Amino acid sequence: MSSAPLPPLAPGALPLAGHFVAYRADPLAFLMSLAARGRLVGMRLGPIEAFLVREPDDIERVLVTEHRRFWKDRMTRGLGRILGDGLLTSEGDIWLRHRRLLAPAFHRERIATYGSDMALAAEHFALAREPGEVRDLHADMMRLTLEIVGKALFDSDVGPRAADVARALDAVVDRFGTGLITLFPWIERLPLPDNHRTREAIATLDDVLLGVVRARRARGGGGSDLLSMLLAAEDDAGRGLSDREMRDELMTLFLAGHETTALALSYAFVLLSKNPDAEARLRAEINTVLGDALPTTEHLARLPFVRATILETLRLYPPAWAIGREAIEETSLAGYRIPKGTQLWISQWVNHRDARYFPEPERFLPERWLGGLERALPRFAYYPFGGGPRICIGNQFSLLEASLVLATILRRVRVRVLEQRPLAFVPMITLRPTGPIVVAYEPAPKPDLLRVPVSAVP
């Protein structure tokens, strides 16, 4: 055992609850306060102690160079009760086998084939908007990304039951997202209506997803979606995924793959609505490059401000706001001893606000990404999709989707946020808004009314 000291805990822990009350009151502010205290500072949430890793180099050790010493933290593993052996929650050989089987379905060239469906879904959404219509932007984006991921994953097989899937996923995330059940597992055994609803939601998801897998197998596969690729995939020993393994992966992809991108899009529209100069510059770029055409994957290289807008949105309001790991053996980090079982948290919310790398960190400045900032930053100063072997498998899918949907909708519509207060969040598994984001959809301004001259577009 090393003689290095243990990392410090933040002051103010109460008996039993620890820092739980302060954390629950405002998790994001609480993590920022830990980061301000030092390189590795801990909190106690009920029975669990967790330490925030703040420095990019330390994060790189945990996620990349020494990733074998860590697995997913207790909170994430708690999700395994729903997601089974899906990629997000599995470990070791099972994870590796599944990752290898799924990887070809997420290659850049493969993903590009979904581009036209993404743009078309967004176009239908934009065309259906009445001038001045007032709606909940977050609910709209959730429906749109569910439709897109449903089409890419299953073609149209889930279509009639997509709404059931959406409701069931929502119920499950609500229940597991706060981490309460992981901290206090006995809650699950109480005869509470919430527990009943969760069991019902899981039964619905099993029913729909296993039904889709079995029906497709019975038809002998076929189709151009991800489901058909997964059904055909085999490992080196010639083994494919069982129905149960397929169910776990599909559930994981549905869960990981639609809400995150819906949040990125919702927050991008909010930030643009509150930053008219950035919005005008973006519109000028889109009008110059696209004219009347729907965007395609080929256009994206000529739409740098679209990409910069998405990167800046993911910086300020990262849909995945924290990543957790647990030490599976004793190790050391930042000069401290890390005993086996230590929970480490790594937070995009915190790192993406580090003024050393992002001057004026609270300002929405997409242009900061135009001069090669991505390549100049330390690897873990900015990591909306994580990093190392467990990096998000859907990162290209989601960047493509967010770019195409944003450009398509902006061609036709202006999204005006009606609430002037800053956004407030409930950090669950993802960084959700506290309530509906009420917006008015208006026709996009005519190109000649834009305030930024087209010559200003890089």
Nearer to ligand HEM by Cβ, of 398 and 403: the residue is 398
- Work out whether 53 is an interface residue with ligand HEM (CB under 6 A): no
With CB under 6 A as the contact rule, the residue among 386, 416, 428, 452 that binds ligand HEM is 386
With beta carbons less than 8 A apart as the criterion, state whether 297 and 115 touch: yes
For ligand HEM, which residue of 33, 204, 252, 273 counts as binding (CB under 6 A)? 252
Rounded-to-integer distance, Cα 156 and Cα 259, Å: 19
- CA separation for the pair 438, 86 (Å, rounded): 35
Buried/exposed 330-342: b ≥16 CB within 10 Å, e otherwise: ebebbebbbeeeb
- Distance (Å, rounded) from C-alpha 195 to C-alpha 356? 45
Beta bridge partners of 438: 136
Shortest gap between Cβ of 431 and ligand HEM (angstroms)?
Answer: 9
Among 33, 204, 260, 331, binds ligand HEM (CB under 6 A): 260
321 to 340, contacts with ligand HEM by CB under 6 A?
Answer: 323
CA-CA distance, 39 to 335, in Å (whole number)?
10
Q: Which stretch binds ligand HEM (CB under 6 A): 2-10, 354-362, 364-372, 378-386?
A: 378-386
398 near ligand HEM (CB under 6 A): yes
What distance in Å separates the CA atoms of residue 23 and residue 155, rounded to the nearest whole number?
Answer: 42
Residues 6+ apart with CB under 8 A from 106: 393, 394, 396, 397
Options 154, 305, 369, 397; binder of ligand HEM; rule CB under 6 A? 397
Tell the burial category of 118 from Cβ atoms under 10 Å away from its Cβ (0-12, 13-18, 19+): buried
CB of 227 to ligand HEM, least distance (A): 12
Q: Which of 384, 407, 425, 437 binds ligand HEM (CB under 6 A)?
A: 384
CA distances in angstroms from 406 to 122, 145, 270, 344, 400, listed in the order given: 8, 12, 12, 35, 10
Interface pick for ligand HEM out of 79, 256, 327, 417 (rule CB under 6 A): 256
264 binds ligand HEM per the rule CB under 6 A:
yes
If binding is defined by CB under 6 A, does position 350 make contact with ligand HEM? no
Report if residue 88 touches ligand HEM, rule: CB under 6 A. Answer: yes
CB of 380 to ligand HEM, least distance (A): 12
Within positions 138 to 197, which residues make up the interface with ligand HEM, using CB under 6 A?
Answer: 149
C-alpha angle 165-325-240 in degrees, rounded to nearest 5: 50
Q: Which residues lie closer than 8 Å to 13 by C-beta, 6 or more apart?
A: 19, 43, 44
Among 18, 78, 319, 427, which residue interacts with ligand HEM (rule: CB under 6 A)? 319
Could you tell me the smallest distance in angstroms from the CB atom of residue 253 to ligand HEM? 5
DSSP per position, 398-412: HHHHHHHHHHHHHHH
Q: Which tokens is 433 given? A: 């808004």
Residue closer to ligand HEM, measured from CB, 122 or 253: 253
Of the pair 67, 416, the CB lying nearest ligand HEM is at 67
Q: Report the DSSP pairing between strands 70-72 and 323-327.
A: antiparallel
Segment (H or E) for 34: helix 27-37
Question: Which is nearer to ligand HEM, 115 or 319 (by Cβ)?
Answer: 319
Q: How far apart are CA 265 and CA 267, in angstroms?
A: 5
Query: Rounded to the nearest whole angstrom, what is the least distance from the CB of residue 190 to ligand HEM in the complex?
Result: 29
Site string for ligand HEM, 399-438 (x = CB under 6 A): ----------------------------------------
Binding piece for ligand HEM, criterion CB under 6 A, among 11-19, 133-141, 203-211, 315-323: 315-323
- Non-local CB neighbours of 345 within 8 Å, separated by 6+ positions: 31, 50, 51, 52, 53, 73, 322, 323, 324
Q: Which residue, 10 or 111, has its beta carbon nearer to ligand HEM? A: 111
307 interacts with ligand HEM by CB under 6 A:
no
Binding site for ligand HEM (CB under 6 A): 72, 87-88, 99, 149, 252-253, 256-257, 260-261, 264, 319-320, 323, 384-386, 390, 392-394, 397-398
